[in-house]
Amino acid sequence: MKKHHEVVAAIIQRGEEILCLQRGASKYEYIAYKWEFPGGKVESGETQAQALIREIKEELAIDIQVDGHLLTVEHEYPDFIITMHGLRCTALNEELVLHEHTGFKWLRTEQLQTLDWAAADVPLVEKLRG
């Protein structure tokens, strides 16, 4: 049976732009170097918002405020399944530091489809494009 993970992802908007992050190498080639929203797995006992605040602090060294729910996506990858909650957020600090990703871009919603997104993120990107 495939493992099933509950994941939270932050759609951080600053003005007209949204923060996009590029993953590094991975043992799974289908997620390596793909673009995603920052976040990670929800640990037991955590709310979605608590998990997201923790993950964003670990990954980007910034504090965020969680503003609301955008979309929940269920996606089956070849080796595991994720249920990913996309949450709209605001950054409370200006300067971010990349602790886990290889790159970042701030893009307007109409520019999002220029990136090579992880497959699970495509419905989120489509919803953001409206």
Ligand X SMILES: Nc1nc2c([nH]c(=O)n2[C@@H]2O[C@H](COP(=O)(O)OP(=O)(O)OP(=O)(O)O)[C@@H](O)[C@H]2O)c(=O)[nH]1
Q: How far is the CB of 81 from ligand X (least distance, A)?
A: 10
Structure tokens at 42: 């929800």
d(CA 64, CA 54): 9
Among 11, 20, 36, 87, binds ligand X (CB under 6 A): 36
Among 2, 4, 41, 57, binds ligand X (CB under 6 A): 41
Q: Which is nearer to ligand X, 5 or 88 (CB)?
A: 5
d(CA 119, CA 124): 10
Q: Which is nearer to ligand X, 40 or 64 (CB)?
A: 40
Q: How far is the CB of 16 from ligand X (least distance, A)?
A: 20
Q: Does 89 bind ligand X (CB under 6 A)?
A: no
Q: Which is nearer to ligand X, 16 or 100 (CB)?
A: 100
32: left (phi over 0), alpha (psi -120 to 50) or beta: beta
d(CA 101, CA 9): 14
CB 85 within 8 A of CB 9: yes
Q: Does 123 bind ligand X (CB under 6 A)?
A: no
d(CA 10, CA 92): 13
**Residues binding ligand X (CB under 6 A):** 5, 7, 9, 31, 36-37, 39-41, 82, 84, 118, 120-121
